[in-house]
Amino acid sequence: MTALVLITVVTIVGLELWRLTWQTPTWWVDPHPDHEQTIVRADRVEYRLVEEAHKIRPDDERWQVRITDEQVNAWLATRLKAWLAHSHDLTWPARLGIPQIHFTDGAVNVGVDFEDDGRPRYLVADVVPRVVDGRISVVLESAAIGRLRTPGGSVRTLMETYRDVVPDGFLDEPKVRRVVDLLTDAERVDSTITLADGRRVRVVELVALEGEFIVLCETTNAAHATGQ
């Protein structure tokens, strides 16, 4: 009798866990890349970031930019594919949906949907971006398939963890592997960019809050940057 109860409990728990893997994350909002409001919002946030980066400021003065969930997701919905094609010669995999971001206190939820047997499923990584030794470091805290959460690790470990859940061969597709490679390379991103006039913009700190993300930067003038 005890064995029968145990088997029943395990079966119920297993079915519940399986059901969770098919559920949509609570914060997920279907992207609308063709909506005028989405396009306008993406235009504005991209223009603002460029404008802020190029402003003439006192040398080494620190400044910050706040970005919201909606702004980032609008850019992802309307600009990501074109940016990857231009910057990395990468065509976004047809089997992957448009990624979405959700900012929480201390972490960033990065989600993407994919089709499995004609139904959407959602893979989510909870990451903590930091600036360490002049580079942007992305630490994977935890991950989820649907609403079933697992401990963190590396991005590659995450992919291997869910290899038996996603459709056969999906993670081995060349385009999908290239996306994984880009995510893995994120830990080696330089925190400093050089503007056309020689000034340098350095990301000093990254802060995730509920619904928004703060990027703290400082600008060094050309003469200072070159040691003149």
Domains identified in the chain, total number: 1
Q: Can you give the pTM of this predicted structure? A: 0.77
Which of left, alpha, beta for 12 (phi over 0: left; psi -120 to 50: alpha)?
Answer: alpha
pLDDT at site 49: 92
pLDDT at site 52: 93
pLDDT in tens, the chain (228 residues): 554 444 444 444 444 444 556 678 888 887 788 888 999 999 999 999 999 999 988 887 899 999 999 999 999 999 988 888 887 777 777 777 888 999 999 999 988 887 777 777 888 888 888 898 888 888 778 777 766 666 555 555 555 655 555 555 656 666 666 666 655 555 567 889 999 988 999 999 999 999 999 999 999 875 554 444
203, 192 in Cβ contact below 8 A?
A: yes
In a domain, 213, yes or no: no
- Assign 3-class secondary structure to 74-114: HHHHHHHHHHHHHHHCCCCCCCECCCEEEEECCEEEEEEEE
pLDDT at site 169: 60
125, 110 in Cβ contact below 8 A?
A: yes
pLDDT at site 184: 56
- Which backbone phi and psi does 177 adopt, to 5 degrees? -60, -35
In a domain, 194, yes or no: no
pLDDT at site 165: 55
Question: Under 8 Å CB-to-CB from 3, ≥6 apart: which residues?
Answer: none
In a domain, 143, yes or no: yes
73: containing domain: 2-53+69-186
In a domain, 109, yes or no: yes
In a domain, 118, yes or no: yes
In a domain, 102, yes or no: yes
In a domain, 38, yes or no: yes
pLDDT at site 201: 93
